[in-house]
Structure 1
Amino acid sequence: MPERVDERGPGQGEEEHERERRGLLRAFGLAEVYNPSMVPTLRPGDRLVVQYGAVVRPGDVVVLRHPFRQDLLIVKRAVERRDGGWWVLGDNPFVENDSREFGTVPDELVVARAWVRLRPPREVQRSLGGVLAWAVSAVRSVRADRSLSRRLRAR
């Protein structure tokens, strides 16, 4: 979790400003995907740029603590607000390690919101065309307007 940064008031110096700037940078981090519960949007080995403490909206991909094993972080899509927290689902309909199994997830267990997926290269690229093709597909938004709409059309 990022450090808490105090709000700047009038008369604060450069030291406080620098501490605030560093706090904002710590609000972002990387997370790695290890299981197939979010396929096709995310695959094992993908990395996510996440923002800690961000506002979550329906359709966002989030990193959260598993309600039954809070030492385990999982990645799911926040589908809707319900009494008691968020209803979260994986994009892979064959994996049920989500709210269908453990119910709603309280807000305090939602750790971060994912912004961008970074897909590492599967092999060493030997040509400029291969590097360019990888670069185009490697960085992709995980926003719901893209991934969720594709998933809903397929059903």
Structure 2
Amino acid sequence: MPASRLRWPLSAVLVTGPSMAPTLRHGDAVLVRRGGRAIRPGDVVIAVFRTRPDLLVVKRAVRPAGGGWWLSGDNSLVTDDSRAYGVADVQGRVVARYWPRPGRVPSDRL
């Protein structure tokens, strides 16, 4: 999903790929909030890597870095996170999963 599609304060995003398993799985649909409280380490976020501006990703915020965020996937076997692409700019915070298993998406305090 191109980053320009996150235009509303609350947007729906479809998760693709295994990088956030077991927290989020391929095919999960989540609600993303732009604005609101500041991003904290451990939050699940929607972001764009500066080296891959065409790719919108769902990752976990680890720490602020270089004016953006260092991100990590929950599945450590998949390396499509900041280890491969560097710093990312956060577009919003995942607040809930609404399909197929509705519920709050847990934040891990790293």
Please report the TM-score for the alignment, with normalisation by the length of structure 2. 0.83
Cα 1:42/1:89, change in 2 over 3 Å? same
Q: Alignment partner for residue 27 of structure 2, among 45, 50, 65? A: 45
Give a deviation string over 1:2-39, Cα, whole Å, max 9, x none: 4xxxxxxxxxxxxxxxxxxxxxxx31010000111000
The residue aligned with 1:142 is 105
CA distance in 2, matches of 1:53, 1:60: 14
Question: Which structure features the higher share of helix residues?
Answer: 1
Unaligned runs of 5+ in 1: 3-25, 121-137
Higher alpha-carbon Rg? 1
The residue aligned with 2:70 is 87
2:22 corresponds to 1:36 = no
CA distance in 2, matches of 1:84, 1:51: 20
CA distance in 1, matches of 2:49, 2:68: 13
Q: How many residues align?
A: 104
Give a deviation string over 1:62-86, Cα, whole Å, max 9, x none: 1111322212111000011233321
Deviation at 1:142, TM superposition (A): 1.4
Q: Which has the higher contact order (CA 8 A, sep 6+)?
A: 2
Give a deviation string over 1:94-149, Cα, whole Å, max 9, x none: 001111112222xxx311110001232xxxxxxxxxxxxxxxxx2121131xxx37
Letter paired with 2:55:
L
Please report the TM-score for the alignment, with normalisation by the length of structure 1. 0.61
The residue aligned with 2:90 is 110
2:78 corresponds to 1:78 = no
The residue aligned with 1:101 is 84
Letter paired with 1:36:
P
CA distance in 1, matches of 2:104, 2:76: 21
Unaligned runs of 5+ in 2: 1-5
